[in-house]
Structure 1
């Protein structure tokens, strides 16, 4: 088996945190229990997806606050917070507060663009400013500035018995270096590098070659081009942090019933990986299911994986708590070591 060019240094996982509308607490508790399990297994990081008006985590910062009080070592991230739903100043306050409470373990990942189904939600979200909101990179720039301590106002000092600060409080000095951008296009990767952010890659990329290109699009090659563009424009160059987030489902300790369910799940999702999807021409990576040895072999052959030393493997959306326990246990005890990772615990 060929070695990776970058030994796997950090092993993480990503969960959507699904819940039943009739019992939302149980679903959120399951997410917290999974994060606690991740810490016990030695994972370096746990990441939460963000879902609005769905049955997934709508407030990852609040969930991370809870997780920070039930763990002591594991890093806690978001992958990603869509900033179209957020006020950057208020979000900066929340992130800094949770980072302080966690002891400096928060890794906020963000993205830009209009909120999903914006035409149907804009009157509820921005009733007075829907047509003038900026959903571009400027929104991330504002968040970066606030988190990194730039002034939010020209007023500070005493007013009566109260003391005011010109910058967001609390200020968490290390948080600015732990902000991630979730990008799937060449432009986003380059921009994130120019801002000195970290880069979150996932199982989705944008195909930017012409539709009549001679060769079929290659997911790994496209993602590799994003990683290299990001590092080429980042102040830290080749040392700039990149994390990859493919869907992996090891079956080493799975029951026959679990294996059948996992294989059916992957089979249903595989057709979308054959060609770019929709007007945005999004290309999805195949989910990786099989033994840890089989998955490791496929990852070692993945051009983009060979250039990262951090991963946040994505857990499937619709599985049961017991399935996630089995998958995480196999990742930590079998797949991670097969990729050269060693637990720091």
Structure 2
């Protein structure tokens, strides 16, 4: 393990679940196979992204519900569900149902904000209420309330032969305590801490106090923990794109390196009016990636990670990358695979 780095306690991975529109079933099957592989390799968690109106996972809860029946140990997460696309009550029902099917392994990650391409999708998504919808933190607060069993209606009891509950059903005890917030700004980090949530950091942050990605991330983690009831014990998971090449073929290595080269220019300076900063993707032998991570100010603040798989690679590429992460990179960072017995 690199010097001056505490051992990595939990190791997860994230996939976008891209598919060919001519054969979407195969793409979803590939995603489920990767989640099964992650369990066999000893990963602690597997996470899926969302992609609305794109050729990626549009219904992460449905995919994870299927995964609950094909895995038995690995934790399953969403990174993240933008709740602006969701009705919090209905989302609470789906999350609780899937958590029960998993035996309590679900880690819902959420975020706030208007849906992307709002002007183009608002008419289809909220044809009558677009201007009245609240896309701020209150939407997540409503979701948390429903998951915690707060009343959803003032009606409950028996009507004829039907029995009604005034709270969202089913109830999955402990699920509300496993909700994560995907934040990339100081404001969102502070708010997540104040709500007692866990924090998902990624390879995207807002340049507010610096133009050094690692330092920005470190500052956001500090702000989160400063406002969290658990303080330094509050859970934070870092997500970066890492591509170990220990067992890659020469052709794979060349393709991976070109992928990183093409994406590197955007990491040099803040992008757009929001001053978005992107982390540099890490590619190479696991030992070299481990050394780079040990020098990363954000990584040094965490003991769990969710490494993101690149968007556009093939299934066999993902198998190689996940295998190298579990057998080379993870151990180089002090991680030990989950008990597979």
What is residue 84 of structure 1 aligned with on the other side? 84
Once the two structures are TM-superposed, the CA of residue 157 in structure 1 deviates from its matched residue by: 1.4
Q: Distance in 1 between matches of 2:136 and 2:72?
A: 35
Q: Deviations over 1:165-195 (max 9, x none)?
A: 1111100111011000000000000000000
- Alignment size in residue pairs: 338
- Name the structure 1 match of 2:39: 39
Structure 1, residues 183-215: CA drift from partner, whole Å, max 9, x if none? 000000000000011000000100114xxxxxx
The runs of at least 4 consecutive aligned structure 1 residues that moved more than 2 Å come to none
Partner of 1:323: 317
What are the within-5 Å matches in structure 2 for residues 153-164 of structure 1? 153-164=153-164
Cα distance in 2 for residues equivalent to 1:154 and 1:309: 44
Structure 1 gaps of 5+ residues are: 210-215
Helix, strand or coil: the match of 2:172? Answer: coil
| TM norm structure 2 | 0.98
Shift, 1:7, TM fit: 2.1
Q: State yes or no: 1:268 paired with 2:269.
A: no
Confirm whether residue 101 of structure 1 aligns to residue 95 of structure 2: no
Equivalent residue, structure 1, for 2:165: 165
After superposition, give the CA deviation of every residue in 1:226-260 in whole Å (9 maximum; x if it has no partner): 11111111111111110000000000000000000
**2:308 aligned with 1:314, yes or no?**
yes
Hey, what's the Cα distance between the residues in 2 that align with 1:226 and 1:120? 32
Counterpart position of 1:256: 250
Q: Give 2:328's aligned residue.
A: 334
- Asked if residue 236 in structure 1 is aligned to residue 227 in structure 2, the reply is no
| Structure 2: distance between partners of 1:289 and 1:148 | 42
Stretches of structure 2 that go unaligned for 5 or more consecutive residues are none
Match of residue 212 from structure 1: none
C-alpha distance in 2, partners of 1:336/1:120? 42
5 Å-filtered alignment, 1:166-205, equals 166-205=166-205
- 2:207 pairs with 1:221: no
- The CA RMSD over aligned residues, in Å, is 0.7
| Alpha-carbon displacement from aligned partner over 1:88-125 (angstroms, at most 9, x marks no partner) | 00000000000000000000000010000010011100
User: Which runs of structure 2 are paired with 1:99-178 in the superposition (5 Å)?
Assistant: 99-178=99-178
**Distance in 1 between the 2:234 and 2:150 partners?**
23
- Give the secondary-structure state (helix, strand or coil) at the position aligned to 1:222: helix
- TM-score (normalised: structure 1): 0.97
Any idea what SS the aligned residue of 1:246 has? Answer: coil
Counterpart-to-counterpart distance in 2, 1:249 and 1:51: 22
Query: Is the aligned partner of 1:3 residue 2:8?
Result: no
Tell me the CA shift for residue 3 of structure 1.
Answer: 3.0
CA deviation after TM superposition for structure 1 residue 304, in Å: 1.0
1:51 is aligned to 51
After superposition, give the CA deviation of every residue in 1:49-92 in whole Å (9 maximum; x if it has no partner): 00000000000000000001000000000000011100000000
Equivalence for 1:213: none
Corresponding residue SS for 1:18: coil
